[in-house]
Structure 1
Amino acid sequence: MSRTDYGDVERGDVVVPGRPVKVHRYSGGARVNHWLTAICLVLLALSGLAMFHPSLFFLSALFGGGQWTRTIHPWIGVVLFFSFFGLFVRFWSANLWRRDDSRWIAQANDVVAGREERLPEVGKYNAGQKLVFWSMSILIIILIASGLVIWNEYFGSFTSIQLQRWALLVHAIAAVVAICVWVVHVYAAIWVKGTIGAMTRGTVTGGWAWRHHRKWLRELVSMQKGKRTETTTHSS
């Protein structure tokens, strides 16, 4: 079977029989990549807010003062960009929008009420997770682009004051939206029990996968059965 036959299955996804059944959802590399990105986002939010308004300047003490905050902030942004790029390469294909995702969004009331049995079967990521993924992808591009324009130490001589002012406004708006998206992401991870454990341990139970991501589990089981059949055929 080709990779395209199982659009929601990523490398490393495996069902392990047992009591309970365990499903490998995230590899060790993916988890390290995710948490590095998360740490960068938190540090950027704190250092950015310290420079955003005088009432929040006390946050600069976390970074050694105002000068250090101003110096460190853009470098953390560079690390975030490359770290998120790693996540993008890993996860983009499973986050492609599908027809069932539009139906899932249209039944938002059932999502909030926890009536998952009424929803379309979900692949590895539901429509909400996909919206977060693509929103952050766009926002991080905007943040890195506008951030380079206002990074005077290295790029100040290549831009005008007027362009820097516009870039600063765009950067601030994108940062606020990114923080809001991040808060929604964290809230959803806490709300759906087992989600955080999946990104710390890398595995979920078969029951969890069946309840929350049934289409993904079906594809994964089908793929493994197909591989076993091919192995048996070749060995005969």
Structure 2
Amino acid sequence: MAVKDIAKEDAIYPGKPVVVGRYNLPARINHWITAASLILLALSGLAFFHPSLFFLTGLFGGGQNARAFHPWIGVVLFFSFAGLFIRFWRANLPEKSDAEWLAHTNDVIAGHEDRLPEVGRYNAIQKFNFWVMALLIIGLILTGLAIWDQYFYNWTTIPQKRVAVLIHSLAAVALICIWIVHVYAAIWTRGTLRAMTRGSVTGGWAWKHHRRWLKELAERHRTKKPAAPAE
């Protein structure tokens, strides 16, 4: 079993129900800063994507403010996601069981998770989203710097800026789509949101969705006696 799936804060708290610690407070804060940055970037970016969406600049106090805030929020997103990347990249490395899990996609959709291979901390779709988001965010920051004329005008030529704008726009649309899938999956899989709000999941949720991760926790004798997090 892969040690990379276990974080320092992971622990099993006996009780009724059993509660499993999954994310500590710094990880949750890091996650929500990233989420907030993505939402603000999507709103401000879409405002410049098409004239019919320009009204969204009102959320930022007007077009000038939206244009000024957008790249700085992008910088916040980059460093915030970098924190998540450093924390979780090992747990998102592909492995043989991922292909086996994907082969049972119909069972995933039908909710027959008892027929799936045992999953570690993250399943194949979660890993895919993680790496795609990482690549898209890198692409966005690089192209964003290329068109941030206030500070980096002389870095690129006009033709290069035009290409950067196109790539930046396409990457942004792709990232928004990935984010929507991420949010939908979190809502669709009942009990998932609790992990990023309370930092814990129930033992039943862990057994159903990430059984290998739960087994590794138990086998490493990381069970703790303090009272479980409040329901």
* TM-score, with length taken from structure 2: 0.94
Q: How far apart in 1 are the matches of 2:133 and 2:70?
A: 18
Determine the structure 1 residue equivalent to 2:14: 17
Determine the structure 2 residue equivalent to 1:90: 87
Aligned residues: 224
Q: Greater relative contact order: 1 or 2 (C-alpha under 8 angstroms, separation 6 or more)?
A: 2
Q: How far apart in 1 are the matches of 2:93 and 2:66?
A: 37
Counterpart check, 1:32 vs 2:29: yes
What's the secondary structure of 1:131's corresponding residue?
helix
Q: One-letter code of the match for 1:199?
A: M
Alpha carbons 1:6, 1:223 under 8 Å: kept: no
- Residues 111-130 of structure 1 correspond to what in structure 2 (within 5 A)? 111-130=108-127
Counterpart check, 1:51 vs 2:48: yes
Q: What stretches of structure 1 of length at least 5 have no aligned partner?
A: 228-236
Q: How far apart in 2 are the matches of 1:146 and 1:122?
A: 36
What is the Cα deviation at residue 226 of structure 1? 10
What is the Cα deviation at residue 225 of structure 1? 6.1
Alpha carbons 2:217, 2:223 under 8 Å: kept: no
What is the Cα deviation at residue 5 of structure 1? 5.3
Residue 212 (structure 1) aligned to one of 198, 209, 214: 209
Deviation above 6 Å: which 4+ runs of structure 1? none
Residue 161 (structure 2) aligned to one of 160, 164, 176: 164
Indicate the percent of aligned positions where both proteins have the same amino acid: 61
Determine the structure 2 residue equivalent to 1:136: 133
CA 1:53–1:9: 2 relative to 1, 3 Å: same
Determine the structure 1 residue equivalent to 2:229: none
What's the secondary structure of 1:26's corresponding residue?
coil
Alpha carbons 1:10, 1:94 under 8 Å: kept: no
Q: How far apart in 2 are the matches of 1:123 and 1:160?
A: 47
Q: How far apart in 1 are the matches of 2:44 and 2:110?
A: 37
Q: Name the larger-Rg structure.
A: 1
Per-residue displacement from partner, 1:107-126 (whole Å, max 9, x unpaired)?
11111111101110011111
Q: How far apart in 1 are the matches of 2:19 and 2:182?
A: 24
